[in-house]
Amino acid sequence: MSKAILVDTTRCISCGACVSACKEANGLPQNEDTTLTAQTLNIVESHSGVFVRKFCMHCQDPTCASVCPVGALRKTAVGPVIYEESRCMGCRYCMMACPFGIPRYEWKLVLPKVKKCTMCAPRQAKGLQPACTEACPVQASIFGERNELLREAENRLRQNPAGYVQHIYGKDEVGGTSVLYLSAVPFEALGFPANVPHDPLPMYTYRVLSKIPNVVAVGTVLLGGIWWITKRRAEVAYAEGEEKGTPKASDG
């Protein structure tokens, strides 16, 4: 079963425990970045007094993995989208493709790599939960099976309809994500893109690529037709020149 994280922004107190735990688990310096960087893979933002965590959404069908030409990014069956830096060639296509603007690049290093949250995949492999959810003192972020977390989110919406926007962000966005959000204010007010489609973004690439054989076939026929017409005109000109005794037209 696929694992996920449910973030309830109405419960977050911006204590920073999740940020510190993330840094410790990933061996990153305990600096105080206010935005996502190659050294800060998880942050807590404030939007008019509402606190919200930002980190990799771990899409069900990740665009970053679909555009990576060397397979450095891939979705695992248990939920995390992991990154194998030994394969990375630094093209940064994943950064351009991510609909949530998550991956960061180690610009200052001689041999830079892409950095992002991996949902503590190594910890999960040992039967542990992600460091961020384990550290949260108020359970603003909880970890579990995605289907169970969706049911929990739906129960919260049903039990407190006035306290939440009646939507689970990540349930359907870009085909669904392994990080789900609840909020009392519109999600766009928290900096989330509101215009993302519900279809997985790699499907759009597939739909275009699936048309290419037809385009190539039609183009081949069209170019072949132009070549035949041009050649035929040259042949006619040649024949007319023969009949009139004029110099031969070029066959070029």
- Backbone phi, psi, residue 35, to 5°: -135, 165
pLDDT of residue 251: 47
pLDDT of residue 194: 83
Mean pLDDT value across the chain: 87
Ranges of each domain in the chain: 3-198, 200-252
Smallest CA-to-CA distance from 57 within 14, 85, 97, 87 is with: 97
pLDDT of 238 above 70: no
Least confident of 46-55, 84-93, 122-131, 174-183: 84-93
Q: Residues 168-185: pLDDT tens digits?
A: 999 999 999 999 999 999
Neighbours of 146 (CB within 10 A): 23
pLDDT of 239 above 90: no
Q: Pairing mode, if any, of strands 3-8 and 179-182?
A: parallel
Q: What secondary structure letter does DSSP report for 144?
A: E
Pick 3-198's CATH classification: 3.30.1540.10, 3.20.20.100, 3.30.70.20, 3.20.20.80.
Answer: 3.30.70.20
Q: Residues 140-162: pLDDT tens digits?
A: 999 999 999 999 999 999 999 99
pLDDT of residue 98: 95
Q: Pairing mode, if any, of strands 43-47 and 50-54?
A: antiparallel
In three-state secondary structure terms, 24 is helix
CA angle in degrees (0–180, nearest 5) for 226-207-57: 145
User: Could you tell me where the DSSP H helices lie in 42-92?
Assistant: 63-67
In three-state secondary structure terms, 82 is strand
Distance of alpha carbon 113 from alpha carbon 91, whole angstroms: 10
Distance of alpha carbon 34 from alpha carbon 45, whole angstroms: 7
Smallest CA-to-CA distance from 76 within 166, 181, 153, 146 is with: 146
Least confident of 62-71, 72-81, 191-200, 238-247: 238-247
Burial label for 167, CB within 10 Å (0-12, 13-18, 19+), is middle
Distance of alpha carbon 40 from alpha carbon 132, whole angstroms: 13
- Backbone phi, psi, residue 206, to 5°: -60, -40
The pLDDT confidence band at residue 209, using thresholds 50, 70 and 90, is: very low
